[in-house]
Chains A and B, each alone.
Chain A
Amino acid sequence: MIFLTVGTQLGFPRLVEAMDAWAATTSEEVIAQVGSGRVTCANLAPRGMLPPAEFAGIFRRARVVVAHAGIGTILAAKRFRRPLIIVPRMAGLGEHRNDHQAATARALEKGTAVRVCWEVAELPALLAETAPEALPEGPGASHAALIEGLRGFIAAAPLRR
């Protein structure tokens, strides 16, 4: 099963339509959380807001998760150790207020298992990969360094009387 999620706030027709077209070519189930706004999709069963427990259940079962480059989704892929393909929202196409998702995607492209899809036309090839790499769980070196730095500052702060 493929889980498509574009977050709960903004719609993302470019991605939803591409996944709808892909769903027509496969027998694999596609569960789609499509955000707000209207989307036309003939081959997906679109869902709006998923309750957290259901979201987690679907996420865990997915062979691959296809998503916008939202931080929440990326952290979820780590937490649930699933392979993740991200399509960054582009401000130029009216998909977000700015291009922070592209910046996040560029940064993740190097050195992590996250697959970045810059053009939705590349999606079928990415989805055809037979052994997609899952994101590792747990803090990496960078995360551990952040925790250590915060801990040091907190330990050094004076206690108020």
Chain B
Amino acid sequence: MTAVEAPRRTRILALASGGGHWQQLMEMRPAFEGCEVTYATTLAGLPEEFGASPAVIVPDFSRSDLWRLPVAGWRIGGALRRCRPDIVISTGALPGVTALALGKLFGARTIWVDSVANAEEMSLSGKMARRVADLWLSQWPHVAEESGAGYFGAVL
């Protein structure tokens, strides 16, 4: 007798800092249909507002408060250990780069979609994400062309 195991669903960790980054990530949810998604953001209450669950809150940090990186990295690592994602996707900013870098170490495929606010060049965090993103996208065709990023479309 052969038992055919049903293939499990793809697991995704979708992380973005609060505000515009998060809103754009929410606009991409139709792409996660049929997947098991864990959401992560930096602002408590935000996931509930968008009906995004399960969700974890991670500390925010930027270039001006890089000292928060170890704690934020630890928390993002915790989310990765629990979710065990096949895919890590982020729209920004630095916590998103961290999630992609750690996600890659964990063996996940990684997606960076640069914020549509960066209409002239790739964001700084986007440039950092290049090295750790398997799929590296801009939401503007001319930015994609100049930076060597991919382009599918934009949430606007």
Separation of A147 and B155 alpha carbons in the complex (Å): 9
Residue of A nearest to B35 (CB): A154
Interface size bracket, A side:
35 or more
Residue of B12, B84, B152 touching A145 (CB-CB under 8 A): B152
Separation of A112 and B156 alpha carbons in the complex (Å): 9
Asked if B69 is an interface residue, CB under 8 A from chain A, the answer is no
Contact A71 B23 (CB under 8 A): yes
Residue of A nearest to B116 (CB): A71
Write out the residue numbers on chain B whose beta carbons fall within 8 Å of the beta carbon of A71.
20, 23-24, 115-117, 156
Asked if B56 is an interface residue, CB under 8 A from chain A, the answer is no
Separation of A122 and B135 alpha carbons in the complex (Å): 42
Q: Contacts A104-B117, A154-B10 given: A75-B154 contact, CB under 8 Å? A: no
Contact A143 B155 (CB under 8 A): yes
> Which B residues between 66 and 90 are near A, CB-CB below 8 angstroms?
84, 86-87, 89
Contact A146 B152 (CB under 8 A): yes
Separation of A62 and B8 alpha carbons in the complex (Å): 46
Residue of B nearest to A161 (CB): B107
Q: Which of A75, A106, A146 gathers most chain B CB within 10 Å?
A: A146
Q: Give per-residue flags for A96-134: 1 if the beta carbon is below 8 A from chain B beta carbons, else 0.
A: 000111011011100010000000000000000000000
> Which A residues between 60 and 102 are near B, CB-CB below 8 angstroms?
70-72, 74-75, 78, 99-101
Asked if A148 is an interface residue, CB under 8 A from chain B, the answer is yes
Q: Give per-residue flags for A135-147: 1 if the beta carbon is below 8 A from chain B beta carbons, else 0.
A: 0000111111111
Contact B156 A160 (CB under 8 A): no
Separation of A139 and B86 alpha carbons in the complex (Å): 26
Asked if B99 is an interface residue, CB under 8 A from chain A, the answer is no
Q: Give per-residue flags for A39-58: 1 if the beta carbon is below 8 A from chain B beta carbons, else 0.
A: 00000000000001000000
Contact A106 B155 (CB under 8 A): no
Binding site for B on A (CB under 8 A): 52, 70-72, 74-75, 78, 99-101, 103-104, 106-108, 112, 139-151, 153-155, 157-160
Binding site for A on B (CB under 8 A): 7-8, 10, 12, 19-20, 23-24, 27-28, 30-33, 35, 49, 84, 86-87, 89, 107-109, 111, 113, 115-120, 135, 137, 139-140, 150, 152-156
